Structure 1
Amino acid sequence: MTGPRSGGVVVVECAEYDHIDIDAGLWLDERHQTKFNSEIDGRDILRATFKKGVLKLQATSYVGVIPLNEYVVVRVKPRVPIANLTRMVIETGHNVLPLSTFREYSGRGTADDWAMDIYTDALLDHVDTILDAGLLRTYTNRQGEGHFPHGRIDFTRTMQRFAARGVDNKAAYSWFERTVDTPANRCVKAAMEVVHEHLSKARSKPRKGDRAKLARLAGQFHAFVEVSDDPDYRFLDDPEVLGLTPLPDPRAYYHPVLDLAILILQGVGIALELGGNDVQLRSLLIDTNKLFENFVRVSLAKQAKKLGWPVAVLDGNAEGKVDLYDVPDPPPAPFGVPLEALASDDPGKAQPDIVLRALDGSFPLVAEVKNTAHGKDAQADNVLPERGEVEQAITYALRYGRDFTLLIHPWINGAKGLIYVGRVRSVDVYAYRLDLSSNKHIDTALADMAATVGGLAGLTESQTPTSG
């Protein structure tokens, strides 16, 4: 790839952590500094690395459409088969990173609070755009009667209404009047009202920023004061609103806001997967490493509640963490003088991704969740987990007093479900390959994972997974 296409930008497709073959002249300046969009500059979204002595770009764990700069757009797809990113994001409440660049999405399912939050931000921005550029107006025919006609005299009506009755000082007339009370503006206003209701509804915990959004929306409503309400949504039959009849070229900026308004009014959600042309929204980047970890933990917590496990499923990065180091008393004295322990000031933290804590404070199981694609490029179907992951998991098992440890990965090929890796001294190492490649079987795969985790932790009778 040597340069931007004439009249456009270069679009590059890749998967997570792939090296990207882009001519360095498109992303490095003459001082060898990166020419990155300010929104991604300084974030671990794309990396400059050396591969076989050549400076290349490498994607990280963020998937989505990434505007590198004015010349290049990178579309990063998940490297493992994940059937429904949208479901994973919604169920975990996982944060997405919005960029100012717009891309197209497909509508799917029902718009819940998560989708409405995204729609709210997008609609506020779109309405600001149309207010800056000007509301769509049209000419409407008006009619009147009286002593002071203006516009065009309607001779037929004048003769019938007045002349025939001997009234010679009144006339019927008509004129054209520009108005903002158009189907398109009624559609936008109706969507604003739905968003207002979403922001105003009672919540157990008030959300930061909602007041500012309501104030911004109130200011926008003032510009629509002359636009009538249409509670029956009759504007949804208008060909301009539906995109069947083209809008005037100077008002093309109405297209994205009308597409969005229709999704809002119909209560349709969005699909985060790449592709689609139903609506334009800001490009939403997803960190799949954190997403996979959160989804596994949230799913296990739901299954634990459903099955009545007498444990709490905790995040070891938060409430489930413990001190990594102990300080013995007395400390060791290998040369006759007790040594002062650094851990006296900083004991460090053991932070497994998943911690099962029983009512008595014991820990039946700890697990590490890694979104790594084991065996993707290997000739064998089943390969060992990465060495660093195993070492970390064993350290945590020893610290939490367990004689086994569990690594959970997304399945990509080979065996699914539970795999025994081997033993490192006194610690048995297990790996679980979770298959998220099919919407149809995700619930079964999650139930099997929970049954396996429960069996390893001694909470349920172990069973052979059925999803493999």
Structure 2
Amino acid sequence: MSEVVLREYGPAVSVPLDADAGRAVAASGILLSATPDPGRAGHWLLRAGSRVGAVRTPGGPVLRIMPKTPVNRLFFLLGFSLDPARAWRDGREGTVDTGAYDDVVPALAHAVERRIDAALRRGVLQGYREVEESAPVVRGRLREAEQIRRHFGRTPPVEIAYDAYTADTAENRVLRAAAERLLRLPGVPGPVRRRLAHQRARLADAAPLVRGQELPHWRPSRLNSRYQPALRLAEAVLRGTSPEHRAAGPEPLAVDGFLLDMNRLFEDFVTVALREALKEHGLTARLQDPHHLDTAGLVRIRPDLVVRTGDGRTPLAVADAKYKVEKADGLLNADLYQALAYATVLGLREAHLVYAAGRRPEHFHEVRGTAAGADGRGMRLYRHSLDLSREPGHLLSAVREIAGRLAAAAPHPSPQPQPQP
């Protein structure tokens, strides 16, 4: 099986593909573009967008898409989004252990296997699960309706229901499914593959997931606390593995692999990190807060983050995350118009845009024609940038600075006059 290496938002690469394989790659939607190469017969120009990872396309090559962001930093962002309280407290890179791997899939497989191993270190978690079955003897409760419908006038067998203490729990099913999905991914190193197979064997009493079946639902509790870091990462694997993409035909096109959408990952990190930082100022934040642009309620807007007072009632500031390079040449004017709309609808004096990179850490545009506030200035649209190549501690410090700017929009109580002696 051939392999094609692309870079996130990198230049298009001319790849030898037959017509069917090229159309399958184009229809999958996993790339920014896939078109026949006009200069080379039998070749297609493939260009990656914001999705990184590796996928095996139907009838085509394995596509390995390398991220612009260093892999260990990418998994710091992912780990923060999965477990913000721990990541904010630690402020370090080790929230997700990626080993020495600098590619997405090997690092992911290593990280999941290490977390499953830590979860199972004190043994496989067991719990009670309701079982309904036909049996030769009565155990638990008799299912009378099923007994009459299936075996009217005949016993045994009997239709029964009982609570079984078993390792076939939702938590173990999720971990087993993640290990099995990773074992099918292209590019998993041999040593990691062997350790994943060992973890799957330890979880053999958990029922396998059927492809397309919804993930088992589990609830955080004191009993499964040691499982929770592994479960959060395993669910990220299962949601990003074997995606189904809508092709031109009536049936979805399935591809085997794992893809991380950097747009979504950056947005999740920025909004969750700002929400955690704003708690230090006694403020709350709503993510993807829905509103309407017009009075008729026909045009919906959904800012990434709206800062509110501690009781959650009054909006104070609004922010939107943009996984792109902030520029000064006017190409991103649409972002400023969007921020202006958010501030206008919410009745705010300022709005904030957070970019993945930029020329300056922070600057602003004062909007012409807006009424001056008590401070004598009009509405301001701030542009911030986060350098994702920096160490996690520096990255979180930059987030704290942006949170401080957002918190500065909160009204401060006027000092009360002191009584005269």
Q: For 1:331-370, what aligned pairs fall within 5 Å after superposition? A: 343=296, 346-358=297-309, 359=311, 361-370=313-322
The residue type equivalent to 2:258 in the other structure is L
Q: For 1:267-416, what aligned pairs fall within 5 Å after superposition? A: 283-305=257-279, 307-309=280-282, 311-316=283-288, 320-326=289-295, 343=296, 346-358=297-309, 359=311, 361-375=313-327, 383-384=329-330, 386-411=332-357, 414-416=359-361
The residue type equivalent to 2:260 in the other structure is I
- CA separation of 1:314/1:75 partners in 2, compared to 1, >3 Å: closer, same or farther? same
Query: Aligned-pair distance for 1:127?
Result: 9.2
Q: For 1:102-181, what aligned pairs fall within 5 Å after superposition? A: 104-105=106-107, 107-108=110-111, 111=115, 120-124=176-180
- CA separation of 1:429/1:103 partners in 2, compared to 1, >3 Å: closer, same or farther? closer
Q: For 1:246-257, what aligned pairs fall within 5 Å after superposition? A: none
The residue type equivalent to 2:386 in the other structure is L
- CA separation of 1:420/1:87 partners in 2, compared to 1, >3 Å: closer, same or farther? same
Query: Aligned-pair distance for 1:45?
Result: 3.6
Query: Aligned-pair distance for 1:385?
Result: 6.2
Give the distance between the partners of 2:398 and 2:205, measured in 1 at CA.
Answer: 39
Q: What SS is found at the alignment partner of 2:23? A: coil
Give the distance between the partners of 1:186 and 1:374, measured in 2 at CA.
Answer: 43
Q: Hey, what does 1:67 align to over in structure 2? A: 56
Query: Aligned-pair distance for 1:195?
Result: 7.4
Give the distance between the partners of 2:37 and 2:367, measured in 1 at CA.
Answer: 34
- CA separation of 1:70/1:188 partners in 2, compared to 1, >3 Å: closer, same or farther? closer
| Residue pair 1:83, 1:437 contacting (<8 A) in 2 also | no
Q: Hey, what does 2:5 align to over in structure 1? A: 12
Give the distance between the partners of 1:300 and 1:66, measured in 2 at CA.
Answer: 33
**Deviations 1:374-406, CA, capped at 9 Å, x for gaps:** 35xxxxxx5556011111111111111112221
Give the distance between the partners of 2:272 and 2:387, measured in 1 at CA.
Answer: 16
Q: What SS is found at the alignment partner of 1:41? A: helix
Q: Hey, what does 1:420 align to over in structure 2? A: 364
Q: What SS is found at the alignment partner of 1:325? A: coil
Give the distance between the partners of 1:395 and 1:126, measured in 2 at CA.
Answer: 43
Report the number of matched residues. Answer: 281
- CA separation of 1:383/1:92 partners in 2, compared to 1, >3 Å: closer, same or farther? same
| Residue pair 1:289, 1:371 contacting (<8 A) in 2 also | yes
Which ranges in structure 2 are unaligned for 5 or more consecutive residues? Answer: 84-103, 120-170, 185-193, 219-229, 238-255, 371-378, 414-421
| Residue pair 1:27, 1:69 contacting (<8 A) in 2 also | no
Q: TM-score scaled by structure 1?
A: 0.49
Q: What SS is found at the alignment partner of 1:371? A: strand
**Deviations 1:39-87, CA, capped at 9 Å, x for gaps:** x834354423699999843322111123345443333233456752222
- CA separation of 1:394/1:321 partners in 2, compared to 1, >3 Å: closer, same or farther? same
Give the distance between the partners of 1:350 and 1:313, measured in 2 at CA.
Answer: 17
The counterpart of 1:193, out of the listed 198, 202, 205, is 202
Query: Aligned-pair distance for 1:286?
Result: 0.5
RMSD value over aligned CA atoms?
Answer: 4.6
| Residue pair 1:434, 1:449 contacting (<8 A) in 2 also | no
Give the distance between the partners of 2:111 and 2:318, measured in 1 at CA.
Answer: 36
Q: What SS is found at the alignment partner of 2:24? A: coil
Query: Aligned-pair distance for 1:325?
Result: 0.9
Percent identity over the alignment is 20
Q: TM-score scaled by structure 2?
A: 0.54
Q: What SS is found at the alignment partner of 2:314? A: coil
Query: Aligned-pair distance for 1:91?
Result: 2.7
| Residue pair 1:14, 1:20 contacting (<8 A) in 2 also | no
| Residue pair 1:116, 1:195 contacting (<8 A) in 2 also | no
- Bigger Cα Rg: 1
Give the distance between the partners of 2:270 and 2:195, measured in 1 at CA.
Answer: 44
**Deviations 1:132-191, CA, capped at 9 Å, x for gaps:** xxxxxxxxxxxxxxxxxxxxxxxxxxxxxxxxxxxxxxxxxxxxxxxxxxxxx9996675
Q: Hey, what does 2:400 align to over in structure 1? A: 447
The residue type equivalent to 1:325 in the other structure is D
| Residue pair 1:408, 1:432 contacting (<8 A) in 2 also | yes
